[in-house]
Amino acid sequence: MNAKLNILCISSVVVLIATNDLHACTRAVYKGPMQTVLTGRTMDFAIDIPANLWVFPRGMERSGEVGENSIRWTSRYGSVVASSWDIAAPDGMNEKGLVANLLWLVQSEYPDFEPEGDRPGLTIAAWAQYALDHFATVAEAVEALSLEPFVVVTDFIPGTDKFTTVHLSLSDATGDSAIFEYIDGELVIHHSSDYQVMTNDPVYEEQLAIRRYWENIPGTVFLPGTNRPSDRFVRASYYIHAIPQTDNPHLAVASVFSVMRNVSVPYGISNPDQPHISSTRWRVVADQKNLVYYFENILTPNVVWLDFENLDFAAESPVKMLKLDEGEVYAGEASDALVASSPFVFQGL
């Protein structure tokens, strides 16, 4: 479907995007020797999805942004996140090495939210941020989120008849992993350190079935090469284990980036019959051992990163931003280029 739709962001910027499924992302966790753990992801989207990097300190007062019955909390941990239009945080890592990624899942169906009900609500735009603010490990997150302390609240993308439908992946510095999905209104959690790879579709149970099938076919003999989510899942699953096993951070980061580029969708590629296949807009590799967050925008010629040793996450320290959404170009460690900024507001109801 080629019709274009208006999206009104909080900043009142109007963005035109294609309808139907918008994301087509891939995420993979690398586990090397000496507790080396890195998580890579691609952000694939139908149009450019401007991102800035944000440094959030501990002690931030947050709201679920869905009205009076919003969950409220104070952040326990500082984090670095990549924003989308400065209205959502689809990706980030906190100071304990917990990484959160949001990927599109068209089958998602969330529970009904009652504005005057017993359970508070949380805008889907802040779902990943809630995890980064609260948890040091995947096990902590699984224990707490399985109690469903809030209702994830999605809504029509402004000006459209399309809901935001995503699933959440978490990984931590031990290499543990979990995927959180809402299927038919019920929370489904897949928790295992073996769950290193996921794509946007299908539901994760079916992705595991794909993995079991392809485990019997050596990757050196044949790998599926299309941009379809199932094919990207197979390639990422093979290559994340085939790349060098090393505790050299430079080689590990380069190796994970090479996997994420292998499963990226080339720029400008689109298929009206398969709208879930969208060009890769940016890539992230989060080094969870050394606490460095690497970001690559495909329209700029190099990688920028933030080393957590150079960041101040103390409560009352300022929120800072690295502006990237207008083609700014940085190379290497860029903490000196951060500027104090008012935090963006998560889009809600």
Instruction: Report yes or no: 320 and 55 within 8 Å, Cβ to Cβ.
Output: yes
Which three-class secondary structure state does DSSP give residue 314?
A: coil
Residues with catalytic function: 25
Specify which residues 199 forms β-bridges with. Answer: 26
For 222, counting Cβ atoms within 10 Å of its Cβ (0-12 exposed, 13-18 middle, 19+ buried), the class is exposed
Instruction: Report yes or no: 343 and 56 within 8 Å, Cβ to Cβ.
Output: yes
Give the closest residue to 5 by CA, choosing from 124, 158, 155: 158
Residues 6+ apart with CB under 8 A from 92: 79, 80, 81, 82, 99, 100, 128, 129, 132, 293
Buried residues in 317-344 as b, exposed as e (16+ CB within 10 A):
bebbbbebbeeeebeeebbeebeebeeb
Specify which residues 97 forms β-bridges with. Answer: none
Q: Quick one: tokens of 228?
A: 């379809």
Q: At what angle do helices 229-242 and 249-262 cross, to 10 degrees?
A: 160
Residue 43 main-chain phi, psi, to 5 deg: -110, 110
Residue 5 main-chain phi, psi, to 5 deg: -125, 145
The single residue listed with the structure tokens 């031990």 is 174
Instruction: Report yes or no: 57 and 314 within 8 Å, Cβ to Cβ.
Output: yes
Give the closest residue to 325 by CA, choosing from 1, 15, 3, 102: 15
